[in-house]
Amino acid sequence: MSNRVLFIAGNWKMNKTATEAVEILSELKKKVAEFEGKLNIAICPTFTALDRAVKATEGSNVAIGSQDISDKASGAYTGEISAEMLLDLGVKYAIIGHSERRQYHNESSEYVSKKAKFALDAGILPIVCIGETLEEREEGKMSNVITTQLKGSLAGLSADEVVKTTIAYEPIWAIGTGKTASPAQAQEVHALIRSLLTEAYGSVTAEKVIVQYGGSVKPGNSAELMGQKDIDGALVGGASLDPAVFAELIKNAL
């Protein structure tokens, strides 16, 4: 890997109450304290747990992120969460454009880019997700899908803003299925992403961007996946819900 700092984040999705989150994070921060300075770690719990999660991890090497963010500052947008609200809690990151948001809430790449821009303007660091379905991969459309999603999701962002943005490649066919892209398959797409970033922003910028892999990452495969040239971390689902498993995953990845 280059001099990019490894970044491993956990996405809890719609799991764990605020009370459960405090219990898990209290245990997790102890287990990962030894890795301070070696990588960046974040956990993205549900909105209802964010306040207590930030307090539970205060002074530790675990940052807290949200699972979404609005592209509006405030107003009549029922159910939305603004950047100001997240910042007020001490939230550092926001996942944007996860495949489940794209699938179940019809979020387009254009909408994702608006959210990313808004987050950056406010001082929140976006984790922008892209990825193809099994059908798209089998039909040979992976490259086109990734290219279209990446360009659309980063549209309007400057080189400086892109450097602050983490890209998470999550093949939809590997999320929660137990299937994982082989290290070679994952590296192929990460290399494509890096080349698209080089084309759009130049090699200096492209070499600084963190590109995570997500899709059934676990302790048994984290070392091989993170060992690939262009894979700079992971966006972890199920394995991040267990402090011992997540800590082992991180240890193996280093």
Q: Tens digits of per-residue pLDDT, 192-243?
A: 999 999 999 999 999 999 999 998 899 999 999 999 999 999 999 999 999 9
Q: Find out whether 71 and 115 touch, Cβ atoms under 8 Å.
A: yes
Distance CA 15, CA 238 (A): 10
| Dihedral over alpha carbons 227, 99, 196, 7 (to 10 degrees) | -40
* CA nearest neighbour of 239 among 189, 182, 176: 176
The three state secondary structure string of 41-78 is EEEECCHHHHHHHHHHCCCCCEEEEECCCCCCCCCCCC
User: What are the phi and psi torsion angles at 248 (to 5°)?
Assistant: -65, -40
- Burial degree of 3 (CB within 10 A; 0-12, 13-18, 19+): exposed
Catalytic residue among 100, 132, 136, 170: 170
CATH 3.20.20.70 fits 7-253, yes or no: yes
* DSSP-assigned letters across all residues of 2-44: -SPPPEEEEE--S---HHHHHHHHHHHHHHHGGGTTT-EEEEE
Distance CA 49, CA 212 (A): 24
Whether 105 is catalytic: no
Residue 2's pLDDT is what? Answer: 67
Strand partners, 167: 128, 211
Residue 1's pLDDT is what? Answer: 45
Q: Tens digits of per-residue pLDDT, 48-95?
A: 999 999 999 999 999 999 999 999 999 999 999 999 999 999 999 999
Catalytic residue among 27, 98, 105, 139: 98
Residue 180's pLDDT is what? Answer: 75
Q: Tens digits of per-residue pLDDT, 135-182?
A: 899 899 999 999 999 999 999 999 999 999 999 999 988 877 777 789
Whether 98 is catalytic: yes
